[in-house]
Structure formats: C-alpha cells, structure tokens
Amino acid sequence: MLLVMMVVLVMLLVVAVNNHNLKQKLAVYQEKEQSLSHQIEVEKERTEEIEEFKKYTKTKKYIEDVAREKLGLVYEDEIMIKTEDD
C-alpha cells in the first residue's frame, strides 16, 4: 500500500511540474502572439500607405512635384524667387 501511495505521489509531482512548464510556455506563446498581431497591424498600415503613395504617383500633382524638386522645372509663365536660405 505504501508503495502504491509513493507511486501516486511521484506521478502527481510529475504532473504538477509538467503543468507548470506548460503554463510558462503558454505565457511565452501568448506574448509572441501579441507581438505578431502588432506587427501585422503595423504592416497593414504600411501597406495602406504604400497603396496611397502608389495612387499619388499616378497623379499630375506628383509629376509636377518631382519635376520641380528634382529637375528644377517650372511652367513658362511662372517666376521663381529664391531666398537667401535656399
């Protein structure tokens, strides 16, 4: 009878230790899940920004902005005034 009680106690101890380890793993996995969910949201926002920029690059306004900034082009009837800061 004593031997059976010892076996049961050992089994209970093993189950308790495994339960504790599983709870720790669960907590780690939940943290990873939250982190990944946050990364998904950030990437969705980034995708939306890229889509908006893609739409913007197809507009006449974008072409004008690039021509002004990178190429220094202006309309024929437009006068450029430079300040000392430029």
Q: Where are the domains of the chain?
A: 20-69
Instruction: State the pTM of this model.
Output: 0.59
Provide the token pair at 73.
């082009």
- Per-residue pLDDT averaged across 75-86, rounded? 75
Q: Using one digit for the tens of pLDDT, what is the confidence trace for 19-69?
A: 999 999 999 999 999 999 999 999 999 999 999 999 999 999 999 999 888
Q: How far is CA 81 from each of CA 17, 29, 65, 74, 78, rounded to the nearest angstrom?
A: 77, 60, 17, 12, 10
The CA distance from 43 to 51, in Å, is 12
Residues 6+ apart with CB under 8 A from 67: 73
Provide the token pair at 83.
């300040």
